[in-house]
Amino acid sequence: MTRLFLSIIIAVLGSLFLIGWGLDKLVADDYETQENPDVYIYQQLIEGFSQQLGELSSQQLPLATEKMAEQYQLPISLDNINNVALPVTLLAKLSQHGGLLLATDEEAYILRKIPQHPQQLIKLQLPIAPDENQPLNIMLTAVLYIGVCAILIIWLFPLARRLFILTNAAEKIGKGDLGVRVPINRFSYINRLEKSFNQMASQIEKLMADNKLLARSLSHDIRTPMSCLRFGVEAALDSNNIAKKNEYLNRMEAELTNMEAMTSAFLSYAGMERQGINLRFENLDINQFISDICHDFQALAEQYNVKLTCQLSEKPIIYSLDSHWFHQALQNLISNAVQYAKSQVVLSIAIQTKTIEFIVEDDGNGLAKDDLAKIFDPFVKLDTARSREHGHFGLGLAICQKVVHWHKGKIKANNSTNLSGARFTISLPYS
């Protein structure tokens, strides 16, 4: 919002400055060159009066001044220079031709020193003339306000337009059209708000899609164990054999265990969005982090008769990660690679121009091209031999993708050119 506030201040102050400067420029020359003929006449009169009074003695000045005021019907009076508080620069003008013109809100008058009497001043009060420039002043004031309003309207138009687009997008999302996005304009006053809105809309769309997929998958997968439970209950009720009843009950217990595991896995995945808000990033030694992961999975690799190898960076790397969730992502990739590999799995680190890459590859049968587009979708299980009864729900790679997204990175899958099996690459920003 800083950009918006700055643009408001610039628009208002800039309009006031530019329009005021233009109006001043328009009338300044006329005011500077325009001479008031009445003031000029009074300056000539006071010059003449001062010359006449300069020929008299100090005792004659008051009476002579009264006679001049009565004779010429002008408000003329005497004053002492000590009674006038003026800066030095203006005091010098009291002796100049025409005297010094002064004005206040109530009156205007001319002061002139009397020759031969430097302590005495003659004061001529000028009549207050009607303000002939009042219509012009009103017109200029109106031009100023109209100009400021016009500039503000011009400034507000793009803002109102962007807000209108944002409002329409919000209304469409409210009606269920979750694919609506606001086109980003880098000159917009609310650029950050638009980006945040699009990010929010993407999160809502992804969350709704995951929830629909979760509900559809859960409703589909829960039918089989529910049918088995119903069959087991009916069979147990109909059977009079205690051994058979126990067998049916054991099967039902196994189905309940599978249902509990499946429901727990689905609900855990659905609640991952809340976990992404509370990530705990910390600076880690990546080489040590990868070495620890390799050490943790050596037992699993030996169980499948697979050799797990780590290729670390030659240079030390300190990077900020959420160690729990990033460990979980690499764990899913490594466990999959170990189970699909024939004899070898390699976990390596590669430093690119602006990214750091974590690569997991195996020497298994690789991935079909048709599977690459959907391999990270939740509840997608490419290998039908890995049944959900054994805890395989198709969520491992979806969790990896979500964790990598939390770290502002990308994950991709392809086939390894070195080991001929699958290759998964996590790319995180690095500079």
What is the mean pLDDT of each successive set of 10 residues along the chain, which is 431 residues long?
A: 67 74 64 57 86 86 87 87 82 84 80 86 78 68 78 80 89 88 83 87 80 69 76 81 83 79 72 72 92 91 92 89 90 91 92 90 88 78 53 76 90 88 92 75
How far apart are alpha carbons 338 and 55 in whole angstroms? 123
Q: In this predicted structure, what is the pLDDT of residue 429?
A: 92
Give φ, ψ of 297 to 5 degrees: -100, 5
Q: Name the nearest CA neighbour of 400 among 296, 319, 348, 330.
A: 330
Beta strand 344-351 with 307-311 is parallel
Whole-model pTM over 0.75 = no
DSSP states of 230-294: HHHHHHHHH---HHHHHHHHHHHHHHHHHHHHHHHHHHHHHTHHHHGGG---EEEEHHHHHHHHH
pLDDT digits (tens, 9 = 90+) for 24-75: 666 655 544 444 567 888 888 888 888 888 888 888 888 888 888 888 888 8
Within 13 A of 391's CA, how many CA atoms are on the CB side? 0
How far apart are alpha carbons 397 and 394 in whole angstroms? 7
- The amino acid sitting at 175 is K
Contact status, residue 391 vs residue 261, Cβ threshold 8 Å: yes
Element (H, E) at 301: helix 298-303
Sequence-ordered list of residues with C-beta below 8 angstroms from that of 182, at least 6 positions apart, any chain: 165, 166, 169, 194, 197, 198
CA angle 370, 374, 378 (to 5 degrees): 150
Q: In this predicted structure, what is the pLDDT of residue 101?
A: 86
How far apart are alpha carbons 153 and 150 in whole angstroms? 5
DSSP states of 47-102: HHHHHHHHTS-GGGHHHHHHHHHHHHT--EEEEEGGG----HHHHGGGGSTT-EEE
